[in-house]
Chains A and B, each alone.
Chain A
Amino acid sequence: METESGGNERRLVREAQAGSGAAMARLYSLHWRSAYRAAYLVVHDAAAAEDVAQDAFLAAVAALDRFDRRRPFGPWLHRIVVNRALDWARREALRRRVDGADSVFEPLPPPEEIGGEMIAALKELPAEQRAVVVLRYLLEYTPGEIAEMLELPRGTVNSRLRRGLDRLRAAAETERLAGDRR
């Protein structure tokens, strides 16, 4: 994952707001991977994750003039990504309930891969729990920041994290035991 210091990123945002395509291109390069990965880990569908990440960047471009450049760009983008991914996951769940359609989820990586069991377990969590786990443990936001991003009470964030972690711990234990057997 590419990184950029906070000062440099603020400069890029400032230049993009002033019309620099180069700065926008750099911001895109810096954040595409994390945006796509976060979207995928919430929706577990490659095409949908691409749509979500694309839409988030397009929304960011559309709202760039209103963006307070004293704030970091990443959290602003991640907030859009995760909220859109949640919208998609809820819509998909409803669609499947209404249509009785099969899952359109992509096949997950096989369990032999690093973290495969855990990712499978993540998929089993409700979308709302997945979102807070991804924000906390992939993007490394604090519960307070997550509460602000998702407009949730902090207690709700904490309880979703706790429940999600319990499930993931069980998956990690399964993976460890499987590894021992191998």
Chain B
Amino acid sequence: MTSDKLNRALRDVAIPEPPEAQERGRQMVAAAFKERRSDDSEFRGAMAPTISEGRSRRPLPRLALGLSLAALLAVLLLSPAGAAVRNWVDDTFTASPPRPEPMLAKVPGGGRLLVQTGEGPVVVQPDGSKRLLGDYEGASWSPHGLFVAAVKGRNLSALEPDGTRRWSITAAQRVANPRWSPSGERIAYRSGESLRIVAGDGSGDHLVNPEIAPVVPAWSPFGTPELAYVNAEGQLRIASSEKSASRSGAPPDMAGAVAGSRVRKIDWGAGGRSILEVSPGSLHLQGMRLNKLEGRSEFRRRTSLPIAPGATVVDAALAPQQPLVAASVTFWKKHGTYSEAVIYRPGKQPRTLLSVPGSLGQVEWSPDGRRLLVAWPGANQWLFLSLGRGRGRAIADISKAIAPSGRPTSFPLLAGWCCRR
């Protein structure tokens, strides 16, 4: 076999390419170049075939954008909430985990936790006491923690936090991932591969999209009746929750944007200003704004967050009000696996809060955005990282501490931390 033959084989053999891969990459590079130069019009124009090349740079808009960003950052950091964040990120987090405490005597920072255990969802009260809601397979909080949406098989139920069932509906296929809208008026859920919405009282169940990606949908924090989800083609879509899919199955989408490949989680937070897209190899922030005249959200700039070489993103979450992203990443190295909890702040380098052996798991912001709960399944611990008030707290033997029966089961999954008061 000659070099030529091998060259031809490698050059000509058909290889699979995800649809729109080149276009997705083009948009990503355009966004990155725009960010680098703060000069989007030229690049965007260059990406359109009708625009000619060779326009010069325009320093004034960049200066204006830079000043705007600086002003925004100053406002963020000088506001009371921003000051807390500033204190937090300026204080050095411990680089190693705190000494584990033997039991969860109370929820650090207050609030109630909803946790999925092998026996069913459990509510952990601020004083650390627990209540099993039943043998449901998944659950999530209503916006003020007055109810819990729970699923089992083809059933979706609304429960009171003591487990009392208020209503229940049966879907055509297995139900998963219920998410209550911030207004409390609707619940989005997946049934089989479809995305559906039902009113908060169990009425008006309707189809939004007959086939979506296996990603939990996210409601708009702007208070608009909008739901973000990832469709079967991997696009990030915004649907009106007040409309149904058409008879042909066309979803009531109002806007769409390119999403990263293999997105497995979206999180609409930071006061509504960003949707976080989490993939094993990447983190992207899709900027959002509220068009107040039309009462709907619009896509803005999309940026990627830097991931350390060799790292795999396990989980990430946007802070409820601040433009902060917390992520757990894992490194598989020859000498062993280790993980880091990392925080991303606007305009600054990512900061490693914690480094531990083994794998970290889910990350969950407290309702006030001042604490982080990071799961550490390898050590069977939960790590509560607080805002610049000394060391965080670690709770040992968490699978046993959370299990309603007191017998250790599988490591519990965080289903929500409620509620801001």
Contact = CB atoms under 8 A, between A and B. Distances in A.
A and B, one complex?
Answer: yes
Interface stretch (A67-75, A90-98, A149-157): A90-98
Contacts of B9: 114-115, 118-119, 172
B310 interface: yes
B43 interface: yes
Contacts of A48: 281
B90 interface: no
Contact of B29 (A50, A61, A137, A169): A61
12 contacts: A20-B42, A25-B46, A36-B22, A46-B18, A58-B28, A61-B33, A98-B332, A98-B337, A114-B12, A122-B10, A137-B10, A168-B1
Contact of B24 (A54, A87, A88): A54
B15 A55 contact: no
B29 A28 contact: yes
Contacts of B389: none
Interface string A6-24: 0000000001101111111
B312 A95 contact: yes
A57 B281 CA distance: 15
Contact of A53 (B11, B25, B40, B310): B25
B13 interface: yes
Interface string A104-117: 00110100011110
A91 B312 contact: yes
Contacts of A40: 15-17
A178 interface: no
A62 to B, nearest CB: 7
B153 to A, nearest CB: 26
A41 interface: yes
B10 A19 contact: no
Given A22-B53, A61-B29, A172 B46 contact: no
Nearest to B37: A19
Contacts of B55: 20, 22
B46 A20 contact: yes
Bin chain A's interface residue count: 35 or more
A20 B16 contact: no
Nearest to A53: B25
Nearest to B53: A22
A50 B25 contact: yes
A91 B13 contact: no
Contacts of A50: 17-18, 21, 24-25, 261
Given A21-B43, A54-B25, 7 more contacts: A20-B57, A36-B17, A47-B18, A87-B310, A118-B13, A119-B15, A122-B10
Given A46-B18, A64-B36, A140-B7, A21 B30 contact: yes
B3 interface: yes
Nearest to A175: B9
Contact of B36 (A15, A62, A119, A172): A62
B304 interface: yes
B193 interface: no
Interface of B: 1, 3, 5-18, 21-22, 24-26, 28-30, 32-34, 36-37, 39-40, 42-47, 51-57, 260-262, 279, 281-282, 304, 309-310, 312, 332, 337
Nearest to A169: B1
Contact of A24 (B5, B43, B51): B43
A95 B36 CA distance: 34
Contact of B13 (A47, A114, A133): A114
B54 A54 contact: no
Contacts of B57: 18-20
Nearest to A140: B7
Contacts of B5: 172
A139 to B, nearest CB: 9
Nearest to A136: B3
Which of the listed residues B15, B53, B310 has the most CB atoms from chain A within 10 Å of its own CB? B15
A102 to B, nearest CB: 15
B10 A134 contact: yes
A113 B312 contact: no
Contacts of B281: 48, 51, 55, 88
Contacts of B33: 16, 21, 24, 61
B261 A47 contact: yes
Contacts of B26: 25, 28, 32
Nearest to A95: B332
A8 B309 CA distance: 32
A133 B39 CA distance: 40
Given A25-B43, A46-B16, A51-B279, A41 B29 contact: no
A61 B21 contact: no
A32 B20 CA distance: 12
Contacts of B37: 19, 21
A172 B47 CA distance: 41
A37 interface: yes
Contact of B32 (A22, A49, A62): A62
A104 B310 CA distance: 18
